[in-house]
């Protein structure tokens, strides 16, 4: 059938921020393709757990907060202890802070960089150490952004972090491609999640954004499910350092 190329049967996927939004959409997609899920981060995993279980897969939740003080090695160890292995890492956890550049605070800078960029690197490092020691293949999917390509406004640390994620995706691909680890990224466009609530609530901004999206609608978390499965599966074994936009055509305008 050829579908075995995208099967994740017997695999375990670690998803940061898997309890809601984009992370939830990707976790459910990975489970639908056969993977068991470790959801990492704060929040109630009940909804994601129910959806993963509905696909006949297991979910283990780790309530660790990513950022200062997080023990990434411990997160990977617990994942392996609970579900037997670790094959896929989705670095999805992300936060955003908005203020004019002239007013932007150091705390809003540090908070965002710590979660979006620093945690992405050290989570990848802990995962890769495990995969290499176990002598297996690994797949890392980073979540970049439209602001990996564009500047945006009023989100200085977010733009810096997501531009950094794009660079990190390439750097890690360069180092690990020959060692059996694929590192790629998905760059979501404008999605209906908690991070974009402020934009969607602003009638003018919402209209401007929708008017520029060729698909004519905001993305839904389910739109990321199968792109994530593709990058997690053997179908993408020769892809390294790619940043795949899933944006309704936004970048094509």
Per the residue annotation, which of 72, 158, 190, 238 is the catalytic one? 158
Residue 206 to residue 198: CA distance in whole angstroms: 9
Contacts for 55 with CB less than 8 Å, ≥ 6 apart = 28, 31, 32
Token pair listed for 60: 């283990």
Q: 60 with 83: CB under 8 angstroms?
A: yes
Active site residue 190: no
Residue 5 to residue 237: CA distance in whole angstroms: 10
Positive or negative torsion for Cα 140, 146, 147, 148: positive
Q: Which residues are catalytic?
A: 158
């Amino acid at each position: 059938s050829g579908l075995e190329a995208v099967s994740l049967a017997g695999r375990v996927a670690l998803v940061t921020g898997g309890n809601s939004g984009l992370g939830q959409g990707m976790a459910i997609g990975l489970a639908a393709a056969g993977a068991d899920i470790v959801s990492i981060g704060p929040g109630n995993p009940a909804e994601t757990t129910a959806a993963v279980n509905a696909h006949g897969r297991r979910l283990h939740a780790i309530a660790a907060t990513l950022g200062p003080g997080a023990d990434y090695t411990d997160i990977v160890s617990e994942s392996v202890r609970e579900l037997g292995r670790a094959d896929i890492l989705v670095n999805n956890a992300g936060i955003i802070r908005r203020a004019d550049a002239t007013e932007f605070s150091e705390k809003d800078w540090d908070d965002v960089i710590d979660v979006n960029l620093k945690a992405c690197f050290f989570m990848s490092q802990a995962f890769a150490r495990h995969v290499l020691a176990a002598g297996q293949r690994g797949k890392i999917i980073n979540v970049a952004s439209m602001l990996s390509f564009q500047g945006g406004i009023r989100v200085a640390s977010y733009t810096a972090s997501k531009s950094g994620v794009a660079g990190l995706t390439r750097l890690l691909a360069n180092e690990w491609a020959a060692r059996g680890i694929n590192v790629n990224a998905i760059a979501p466009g404008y999605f209906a999640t908690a991070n974009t609530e402020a934009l969607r609530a602003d009638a003018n901004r919402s209209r401007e954004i929708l008017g520029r999206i060729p698909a004519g609608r905001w993305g839904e978390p389910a739109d990321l499910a199968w792109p994530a499965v593709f990058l997690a599966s053997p179908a993408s074994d020769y892809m390294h350092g790619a940043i795949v936009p899933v944006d309704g055509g936004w970048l094509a305008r």
